[in-house]
C-alpha cells in the first residue's frame, strides 16, 4: 500500500496548519488545527489524484493508501505558510522530472482558466463574505515565478496584472513559458544542489513543488467558491 508522508507546518500552538505531501508535488491540505489538517489530508490526496488522472497522469485515484506524519515544524516565520525547504527537496531535479512537473502546473493553470474565463468582470471583482475576490486570487497566483528565482520578466508580468494592464490568464501562460525556459537553461549546480539564499536553503525541486502547491491551493479555493470539483 502506498504511503504518503505529511510535512506539517503550524505555529507553536498547533492551530492553523498546512500539510504538504512532497512525494505528490502540488498536493496540500489545511486545517484550523493540526488535527484537522491531518484528518483532511486523505481527501485532499484523493482529490489531487483524481485531478491528475483526468489530466492523463498514470495514477490510480481509487487505490488504497495511507498518510503518516513525517515531520512537524512549529517555528516557521510564517506559520501554516508552507515550509520553504523540506528534506525531500534536496534530491536533484532531472530535466525529465522538471518537464513532467511543468506539465502538471500547466494542467492546473488550464483548469483555473476553464473555471474562471467565462466569469463577468462583476463576478471576478465581487467581494465574498471572507477572503479575496476571484480576480484578486488570479492576480496573486501570477506571483508564482518568485519561487523559482531568476525568472526574467516574471516580476514585470506580475506588476502588469496588479495594475490591471494584463489579463491574469494570459499572464499565467506567459509565466509558464518563462518558467520552462528558466528550468531548461538552469545550470547543473542549481538544478542538482542545495543553495543558500541568505539564511534559507533553496533547491530547484523545492521551488517547483512550491509553485505547484501555490497554484493548486488557489485553484481549489476558486473551485470551492464556484461550487465545482477541482
Enumerate the domain spans of the chain: 2-73, 88-226
Q: In the prediction, which pLDDT does 79 show? A: 87
Q: E strand or H helix at 217, and its extent?
A: helix 204-226
Q: Is 67 helix (H, G, I), strand (E, B) or coil?
A: strand
Q: What is the CATH number of domain 88-226?
A: 1.20.120.450
What is the reported pTM?
0.96
- The per-residue pLDDT for 200 is 85
Query: Does 2-73 match 88-226 in CATH topology?
Result: no
194, 203 in Cβ contact below 8 A? yes
Spatial distance between the Cα atoms of 153 and 128, rounded to a whole number of angstroms? 32
Structure letter (DSSP) for residue 1: -
Q: What's the alpha-carbon Rg for the chain, to the nearest Å?
A: 17
Task: Report pLDDT for 209.
Answer: 97
The superfamily in CATH containing domain 2-73 is TTHA1013-like (3.30.2390.10)
How far apart (Å, rounded) are the C-alpha atoms in residues 65 and 58?
Answer: 16
Stretches in the chain below the pLDDT threshold 70: none
pLDDT score for 47? 98
Burial of 33-57, coded b for 16+ CB within 10 Å and e otherwise, reads: ebebbbebbeebbebbbebbeeeee
**DSSP code at position 87:** G
Predicted local distance difference test score (pLDDT) of residue 11 = 85
159-197 residues labelled b (16+ CB within 10 A) or e (exposed): ebbbeeebebbebbebbbebbbebbeebeeebbbeeeee
With cell 536553503, the residue in question is: 201
Q: Are strands 65-73 and 2-10 parallel, antiparallel or unpaired?
A: parallel
pLDDT at site 159: 95
Amino acid at each position: 500500500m502506498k504511503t504518503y508522508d505529511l510535512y506539517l507546518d503550524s505555529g507553536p500552538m498547533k492551530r492553523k496548519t498546512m500539510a504538504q505531501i512532497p512525494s505528490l508535488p502540488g498536493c496540500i491540505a489545511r486545517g484550523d488545527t493540526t488535527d484537522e489538517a491531518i484528518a483532511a489530508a486523505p481527501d485532499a490526496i484523493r482529490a489531487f489524484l483524481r485531478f491528475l488522472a483526468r489530466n492523463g497522469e498514470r495514477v490510480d485515484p481509487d487505490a488504497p493508501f495511507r498518510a503518516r506524519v513525517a515531520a512537524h515544524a512549529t517555528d516557521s516565520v510564517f506559520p501554516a505558510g508552507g515550509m520553504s525547504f523540506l528534506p525531500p527537496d534536496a534530491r536533484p531535479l532531472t530535466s525529465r522530472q522538471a518537464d513532467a512537473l511543468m506539465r502538471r502546473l500547466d494542467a492546473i493553470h488550464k483548469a483555473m482558466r476553464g473555471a474562471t474565463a467565462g466569469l463577468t468582470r462583476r463576478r471576478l471583482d465581487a467581494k465574498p463574505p471572507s477572503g479575496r475576490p476571484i480576480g484578486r486570487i488570479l492576480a496573486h497566483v501570477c506571483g508564482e515565478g518568485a519561487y523559482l528565482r531568476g525568472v526574467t520578466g516574471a516580476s514585470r508580468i506580475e506588476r502588469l496584472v496588479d495594475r490591471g494592464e494584463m489579463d491574469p490568464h494570459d499572464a499565467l501562460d506567459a509565466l509558464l513559458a518563462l518558467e520552462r525556459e528558466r528550468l531548461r537553461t538552469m545550470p547543473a549546480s542549481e538544478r542538482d544542489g542545495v543553495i543558500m539564499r541568505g539564511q534559507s536553503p533553496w533547491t530547484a525541486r523545492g521551488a517547483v513543488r512550491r509553485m505547484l502547491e501555490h497554484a493548486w491551493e488557489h485553484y481549489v479555493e476558486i473551485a470551492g467558491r464556484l461550487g465545482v470539483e477541482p
